[in-house]
Amino acid sequence: MQQKLTIALSKGMLLKPTIKLFKEAGLPTKNLDEDTRTMVFDYEDQNIRYLMCRPTDVPIYVEQGAADLGIVGKDVIVEQGKDIYELADLGFGYCRFVVAVPEVLKDEKLENFNYKRVATKFPIVTEGFFRSKGLQIEIIKLHGNIELAPIMGLSDVIVDIVSTGRTLKENNLVELEQIMDSTTRLICNRVSYKTKHNKIRPLIRKFEIITKGGITT
Amino acid sequence: MRNKIIPSGLRDLLPDQVKVMREIEKKITQLFKGYSFQEIITPTFEYLDVIETGAGNIREELFLFMDREGGILSLRPEVTVAIARMVATHLIDKDFPQRLFYIANVFRHIQPQRAQHREFWQMGVELMGVSGVRADAEIITLAVESLRTIGVQDFKISLNQIGIFNSLLEDSSIESEQKKLIRSLVEGKDLVELGKLLESLPIDDALKETIVKLPVLHGGLEILRDLPYLEKHPQASQAVEELVNVYDALQVTGVRENVVLDLGVLRGLDYYTGIVFEGYAPDLGYGLLGGGRYDNLVGKFGRDCPAVGFAMGLDRLAMVLDSKEKSLPHYLVGGTDYEKVVERCNELRNKNYVVEMDVENLTKAELEQKLKAPYQLIYID
């Protein structure tokens, strides 16, 4: 029996480059489009199925085995810390985690933000970063528009992901420190990796040839 | 309504679930006994000291509490450490090899998920006091036979020798900080960062290539040919030779078709010392069993003793089994003459059938109405 491969895709910014990559790798992409409201795309002839997920939901689908593979940003992966394989760096969707402050504070040292309030969508990454610098902070978890927090005095600092840095600039914020870079990753369920090895290995190889990144086997 | 809820991650197991689990236990117990393993029971909780001596610092996963003298206690997170303690104390006068098995509920403070609970059931074996290929092969064979005997379909056991990875890492020119980082990346399964880190290190290219490849190598003996650096490295190639010998022995014991070499099985790098293995079924995104050789554990309790064993998750085994298996005949027995009814019930029970006796004194018509599959009605007039 041919095994079916289920891949969880991130809707939104990552979808277009994902479809492009899949096309080049010879995977089915006919009618693949998030505007149709379809949540499952099943290509029976090729034994492949895609799930349309919110990016932050991709790791849990893969961890629990509802999907074998997933396409998701490293930013989401590090924040969630799920038990999954990270198999390949797909290169696209670049962004970076930064600590940003209002422009008037741009010459302050990071140490001066000890015991201050930090607004972020990424409490785990934020806590880990400040702890590794020996600093304690109070985290204010927000779900969007983080830039608003320092403007309104809700926080002293923010931690957010930026790609070009334009949003920061528009809100009179400057980068104080970089925490880490993030690109899109191919992730895999720990059992699928063993039981569907013969289907997954060639796929990784194709992705690697196309993106020229990731592991070199 | 707090008086009706139970703590997160715990479960009430209902009759159908318990039935499947007990059936599994029964079949595997019989298998273990046939290999001369003897059952033991260890305490449900132990001193935290004992658990940390054996398993290291896993405090975040433990359920801890205090006794009245202020000693810290932990519900058992697994059973192997307790058995090691036992072998170094009560069983110290017994000759090796000792073959022991257990069925136990264990407790871990983990995030509850579909196949992951805070109290779950494990069944496992430990073969104490022997090293070498034949002991390893016996334990792996038992793992395969366990899954076969309960009828798990299309399962695979992934087999590795932890010494290959450990000796490559230990004996190389890599700095100790970097070694720690490599271990944590391998254990965290982050192969992308692993590749990037290795690329940046000033070490032998063949070594880099070998370390990067290890976690993804999967297949038969041919995968070992893919590792150029190994031949140059005496300890690593010795570990490879041991792995090949065990794999060959599994041909003799008749289970090799279910075993795959998988150098990515890098569980508990500090705990295991030789072969390591894990078992999977295609339909479940979680492992079914895991084990390996741990020659240093019993020594921590003061008795040098090589050991090998494995544990399997009974809850997960129950999930992958077809619960609609054929079962024994079921009878519902009723009638007016109590003595005759009891007599008939006992007669049927002696044949190992499942017999429900009517204790409500119902008429034949009432019983017929009540009858549900798979029960058949016997009414004694």
- A199 shares contact with chain B (CB less than 8 Å): no
List, for residues B317-326, the tens digit of each pLDDT value.
999 886 445 5
Question: What is the β-pairing status of strands A85-89 and A138-141?
Answer: unpaired
Find the closest chain B residue to A196 by CA distance. Answer: B282
pLDDT given for residue B223 in this prediction: 86
- B96 shares contact with chain A (CB less than 8 Å): no
The structure tokens listed for B3 are: 């008086």
**Residue the block writes with tokens 């084990």:** B291
**Cβ within 8 Å, pair A190-B281:** no
List, for residues A57-95, the tens digit of each pLDDT value.
999 999 999 999 999 999 999 999 898 999 999 999 999
Question: Residue B96 pLDDT more than 60?
Answer: yes
- pTM for the full predicted model: 0.83
**Whether B180 contacts A73, CB under 8 Å:** no
Question: What is the β-pairing status of strands B307-313 and B354-357?
Answer: unpaired
Sign of CA dihedral B364, B367, B372, B375: negative
Question: Residue B210 pLDDT more than 60?
Answer: yes
pLDDT given for residue B328 in this prediction: 74
In whole angstroms, give the CA distance from residue A41 to residue A25: 17
In whole angstroms, give the CA distance from residue B50 to residue B236: 32
* Partner-chain residue, chosen from B192, B218, B285, that has the shortest CB–CB distance to A64: B285
Burial (CB count within 10 angstroms: exposed 0-12, middle 13-18, buried 19+), residue B268: middle
The complex scores an ipTM of 0.79
Amino acid making up residue B160: N
**Cβ within 8 Å, pair A190-B285:** yes
Q: How confident is the model at residue A2 (pLDDT cuts 50, 70, 90)?
A: low
List, for residues B125-158, the tens digit of each pLDDT value.
999 999 999 999 999 999 999 999 999 988 999 9
Helix, strand, coil percent content, chain A, rounded in steps of 5: 35, 30, 35
Note which residues in 151-190 of chain A have CB less than 8 A from chain B.
185, 189-190
Q: How many helices (H) and strands (E) does chain A have?
A: 8, 11
Chain B residues within an 8 Å CB radius of A8:
none
Burial (CB count within 10 angstroms: exposed 0-12, middle 13-18, buried 19+), residue B240: buried
- B267 shares contact with chain A (CB less than 8 Å): no
Sign of CA dihedral B167, B172, B177, B182: negative
- B206 shares contact with chain A (CB less than 8 Å): no
Amino acid making up residue B253: T
d(CA A149, nearest CA chain B) in Å: 31
**Cβ within 8 Å, pair B287-A190:** yes
**Cβ within 8 Å, pair A214-B218:** no
List, for residues A143-186, the tens digit of each pLDDT value.
999 999 999 999 999 999 999 889 999 999 999 999 999 999 99
Please, which contacts does B137-140 make with residues 24 or more away whose CB atoms are closer than 8 Å?
A: B137/B246, B137/B249, B137/B250, B137/B252, B137/B253, B138/B35, B138/B253, B139/B291, B139/B308, B139/B309, B139/B310, B140/B246, B140/B250, B140/B255, B140/B259, B140/B275, B140/B277
